[in-house]
DNA sequence: CATATGTTTCAAGTAAAAATGAAATTAAGC
DNA sequence: GCTTAATTTCATTTTTACTTGAAACATATG
């Protein structure tokens, strides 16, 4: 979770649900972890957005009950699609703009050459990432 | 850098050096980025630890001069080796201890079964990660 | 060796992120 | 449609992370 840029508490919520056979209502999560229901609500919202948990109906109980997505392969591929890929695309866009800037401004030939080489490396990196990262999800045969 | 758990300023230092043909002394980095020399010193220390920059001697100048490592493949594999792999190992260790705990404590058979399945998934994840992540560095032919 | 220049360290200050708690909103059950 | 339980939202507080600046340390040079 830390790697995914989420607070510790969100990791704790996921961990609790991952090791719970029954779906848990929010108040149980909050009291078990000793956090406020406000935090629990926000944390669960984050996890729902990532599709790392889903809420389900439990007969005879008004409360939402939460269940962890336990297929890491699916977690990973969702995260890739929703978080990493958009970043990569915006990186590509920024690199493109940088390139234009260098072409249009009158930088000395030697410096321009250097910048172009560095930009080329960045382009190769983003390209390789776009290729490799989605492939990884496929390789994760868990 | 964010993904690697480093502050923005460290990313800025690396970015500046990445696009500098000449190695830069610390005070140039600090003044160019508008940060204190204390921050610059710490940031460069971080980057040196990651082998993302190296300092070099420049004739006739007492100051250390810094140059960015521009091979992403090398950056990636260093990061993998020094930061990711140790984490993975400690994760494996924690999983092992969890397993022992379940075996030794008298949990009802049905629950124990559930925990074992979840732990099995974690083990497969760490195993796959140990296999895939280093392989990625090799695939990064940039 | 003394001085000046460059660098690191770290306590204190500042900024950013996360948690709380209570008010607002939603919706279930009667 | 009213009541009440459940949940969300958000201003405030708390915590954590980052930056600064000054002192300590290191090292080159005369």
The answer to whether the beta carbons of residues B79 and B71 sit under 8 Å apart is no
Q: Which of A79-83, A104-108, A119-123, B5-9 has the highest mean pLDDT?
A: A119-123
Q: Is the pLDDT of residue A71 over 80?
A: yes
B56 close to A (CB below 8 A): no
Q: Quick one: pLDDT at residue A77? A: 92
Our count of domains for chain A comes to: 2
Choosing from B49, B68, B87, the residue where a domain stops is: B68
In this complex, the residue of B18, B21, B136 whose CB is nearest that of residue A132 is B136
For residue A136, name the pLDDT band (cuts at 50, 70, 90).
confident
Q: Is the pLDDT of residue A141 over 80?
A: no
- Strand D nucleotides, any atom under 7 Å from protein beta carbons: they are 5-10, 17-22, 28-29
Mean pLDDT of B105-115: 90
Across B96-108, b (16+ Cβ under 10 Å) vs e yields eeebeeeeeeeee
B2 lies in some domain:
no
B61 lies in some domain:
yes
A2 lies in some domain:
no
Choosing from B17, B37, B68, the residue where a domain stops is: B68
The answer to whether the beta carbons of residues A84 and A133 sit under 8 Å apart is yes
Q: Is the pLDDT of residue A24 over 90?
A: yes
Mean pLDDT of B45-54: 96
Helix crossing, B26-33 with B37-49: angle to 10°?
120
d(CA A33, CA A23): 15
Residues B47 and B77 in one domain: no
- pLDDT tens for residues A108-123? 888 899 999 999 999 9
Residues B20 and B79 in one domain: no
B108 close to A (CB below 8 A): no
Q: Which residues of B touch A2 (CB under 8 A)?
A: 5
DSSP three-state, residue B68: strand
Q: Quick one: pLDDT at residue A140? A: 79
Cα–Cα distances in Å, from B14 out to A22, A96, A103, B67, B88? 47, 20, 23, 9, 26
Residues A57 and A115 in one domain: no
Q: Quick one: pLDDT at residue B142? A: 59
Report which of A13, A68, A72 is spatially closest to residue A43, judged by C-alpha positions: A13
Residues A51 and A30 in one domain: yes
Choosing from B68, B88, B104, the residue where a domain stops is: B68
Mean pLDDT of B4-24: 95
Q: Does the C-beta of B26 come within 7 A of strand C?
A: yes
Phi-psi region of A7 (alpha: psi -120 to 50; beta: other; left: phi over 0): beta
In this complex, the residue of A21, A121, A128 whose CB is nearest that of residue B114 is A21
Residues A12 and A62 in one domain: yes
Q: Quick one: pLDDT at residue B67? A: 97
Q: Quick one: pLDDT at residue A26? A: 97
Mean pLDDT of A114-135: 94
For residue A13, name the pLDDT band (cuts at 50, 70, 90).
very high
B46 lies in some domain:
yes
Domain coverage including residue A47: 8-68
Mean pLDDT of B118-131: 95
Residues A80 and A53 in one domain: no
A3 lies in some domain:
no
Q: Which residues of A touch B68 (CB under 8 A)?
A: none
């Amino acid at each position: 979770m830390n790697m995914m840029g989420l607070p510790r508490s969100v990791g704790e919520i996921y961990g609790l649900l991952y090791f719970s056979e029954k779906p848990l209502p929010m108040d149980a999560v909050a009291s078990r972890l000793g956090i406020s229901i406000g935090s629990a609500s926000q944390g669960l919202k984050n996890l729902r957005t990532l599709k790392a948990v889903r809420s389900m109906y439990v007969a005879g109980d008004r409360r939402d009950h939460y269940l962890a997505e336990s297929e890491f392969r699916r977690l990973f591929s969702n995260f890739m699609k929703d978080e990493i890929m958009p970043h990569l695309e915006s990186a590509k866009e920024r690199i493109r703009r940088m390139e234009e800037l260098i072409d249009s401004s009158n930088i000395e030939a030697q410096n321009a050459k250097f910048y172009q080489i560095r930009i080329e490396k960045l382009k190769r990196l983003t390209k390789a990432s776009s290729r490799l990262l989605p492939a990884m999800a496929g390789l994760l045969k868990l």
